Amino acid sequence: MSNVMSKVMIAVRHYLLALQFFTRIPVTGRLAAWVGFSPAMLRASAGHFPGIGILVGAIVAGFSALLLSALPASTMLPLVVAVLGTLLSVMLTGAFHEDGLADIADGLGGSYERERALIIMKDSRVGAFGALALVLAILSKVALLALIGSISSSAMLLALFTAHVVSRGWPLLLVRLMAHVGDAAGSKSKPLADKITGLSLLTALLWVLVGLGLAFVQQSFTAGFYLWNFLLTMAAALLASGLGFLYMWRLLWRRLQGFTGDGLGATQQVCEIAFYFGLALAL
């Protein structure tokens, strides 16, 4: 029994470390001291990334649900909720993934030479390609969420929650399948420079399944979803998100022959947007 509790406590510490690293949600003081830190721990926390998506998705979906009930009914309501929900998600994560998207767009758009592209990605300034990528990504999220919300507010909440979970699982496959390139010491993906273990991938998969299970339960109570309808909707969204992952995998392999921290952030963003697109098509 004590051995099981010890493993549970270790998993909780890894989760909180991932929360500390990938969000702006404060893990400070005595709690931070109890969690501790080491590169090995941070690497082990990788499997909990989709679990962070569950928390972020739940907060954003809950906030959006409050807005839907509090604001006056209007054809503009889904758009307003989409904008404010997206704003909250950026605040919660500190635009961590959006920053990666901007950097990868600047690097790959600024040079066809691999080494030069890697150098450009290290520049903290945002160039024309990065700015354009950010604007189009935010517009795509807001437009797709507003479209989904105009069809069904319940489906909009479903999209907000599940996309944050699923999109945080795909980058881990890149870490497993590709080599890290660039300066690992100065990279935001430093803890993932070594390939993650099969156990971490299994942990991530379990988190995704938990997230999908929670989504189904929520939809059953609020929208009267039947299992078959839920599976069809999720299948379309997951397929689109998976195609987004394959696109990023091919792009990073062809241009960089590996992944960077910016590439992981960009992959999360692309897979999130693709998830919304697939769900919209299913509706």
pLDDT greater than 80 at residue 187: no
Domain boundaries, the chain: 45-282
In 3D space, the residue among 280, 13, 3 whose CA is nearest the CA of residue 149 turns out to be 280
Confidence of residue 185 (pLDDT cuts 50, 70, 90): low
d(CA 47, CA 203) in angstroms, rounded, equals 5
Quick check: helix, strand or coil at residue 259?
strand
pLDDT greater than 90 at residue 184: no
d(CA 59, CA 120) in angstroms, rounded, equals 35
User: Which letter, b or e, does each residue of 87-115 get, where b requires 16 or more Cβ atoms within 10 Å of its Cβ?
Assistant: ebbbebbebbbbbbbbbbbbbbbbeeebe
pLDDT greater than 90 at residue 270: yes
The amino acid at 108:
L
What pLDDT was estimated at residue 29? 85
- Return the number of other C-beta atoms located less than 10 Å from residue 279's C-beta: 26
Alpha-helix residue ranges (DSSP H) falling in the chain: 2-22, 29-35, 39-44, 49-70, 77-93, 96-110, 114-122, 128-151, 153-166, 170-177, 198-222, 227-256, 261-282
What pLDDT was estimated at residue 193? 57
196: left (phi over 0), alpha (psi -120 to 50) or beta: beta
What pLDDT was estimated at residue 186? 53
DSSP assignment letter at 112 = S
Cβ contact 282:237 at 8 Å: yes
What pLDDT was estimated at residue 191? 57
The β-bridge partners of 180 are 259
d(CA 136, CA 131) in angstroms, rounded, equals 9
180: left (phi over 0), alpha (psi -120 to 50) or beta: beta
Tell me: the pLDDT tens digits for 30-65? 888 888 877 778 888 889 999 999 999 999 999 999
In the block, residue with structure tokens 């700015």: 131
Tell me: the pLDDT tens digits for 215-258? 988 887 776 666 778 888 999 999 999 999 999 999 999 999 99
Confidence of residue 5 (pLDDT cuts 50, 70, 90): confident
Tell me: the pLDDT tens digits for 66-87? 999 999 989 999 999 999 999 9
Q: Give me the mean pLDDT over the 110-116 stretch.
A: 88
- The CA-atom distances, in angstroms, between 194 and each of 6, 46, 205, 217, 247 are 26, 11, 20, 37, 23
- The residues, ordered by sequence, that sit 6+ positions from 27 with a Cβ below 8 Å of its Cβ are 16, 17, 19, 20, 35
The β-bridge partners of 259 are 180
Planar angle of CA 215, 81, 155, nearest 5 degrees: 30
